[in-house]
Amino acid sequence: MSEEHATADEAARLVMDLAMLTTAAMRAEIRARQSEGVTLAQMPLLFHLQRHPGLSMGEVALRTGLSRPSVTRLIDTLMARGVVARAPAAEDRRVATLRLTPSGVNLLEASRAAVESRLAQRLGECAPEELGLVRDVTRRLRALLVGEEGERPPC
């Protein structure tokens, strides 16, 4: 480990690099599992619907940073596959809410487990002390990156 102190700018660049590397690992695993039909574009929608069942299309668009038409197209595809279900909101029946179906939960969990397995395989080359550091720094970053409302950033 380097005794040299990093600047916040350098740390921010490293965190961004790590996010891109993690996304690349997810993309590779999803591509390898293409037969299951989950695309990288669909994954954030599935993650958000798992964490927050009952979101509207507009809320999903806001949380993912995608346009409403893009979210509608992706959700329609997922609904056709039986992965997502739509129902009228209890408080306003003009608004549709979305949730994962049991099939959607299984699909998301299998995809996530495959990505985590791939990452764990790579991280298995680290010493236990390094893994502890990864855990501690990740916890600290998560605490720093949580928004005002306690919402985790999109996946």
Place of tokens 């990093």: 6
In a domain? residue 153: no
CA-CA distance, 2 to 130, in Å (whole number)?
Answer: 13
Domain span including residue 30: 8-145
In a domain? residue 89: yes
Q: Is 135 exposed, middle or buried (0-12, 13-18, 19+ CB in 10 A)?
A: exposed
pLDDT in tens, 135-147: 999 888 888 887 5
In a domain? residue 155: no
In a domain? residue 1: no
Place of tokens 């891109």: 20
In a domain? residue 118: yes
Confidence of residue 6 (pLDDT cuts 50, 70, 90): confident
Q: Say how many Å lie between the first and final Cα of the chain, rounded.
A: 29
CA-CA distance, 50 to 38, in Å (whole number)?
Answer: 15
Global pTM? Answer: 0.71
pLDDT in tens, 50-96: 999 999 999 999 999 999 999 999 999 999 999 999 998 888 888 88
How many folded domains does the chain comprise? Answer: 1
Supply the mean pLDDT for the chain.
Answer: 85
In a domain? residue 126: yes
Q: What is the CATH number of the domain that holds 86?
A: 1.10.10.10
In a domain? residue 100: yes
In a domain? residue 76: yes
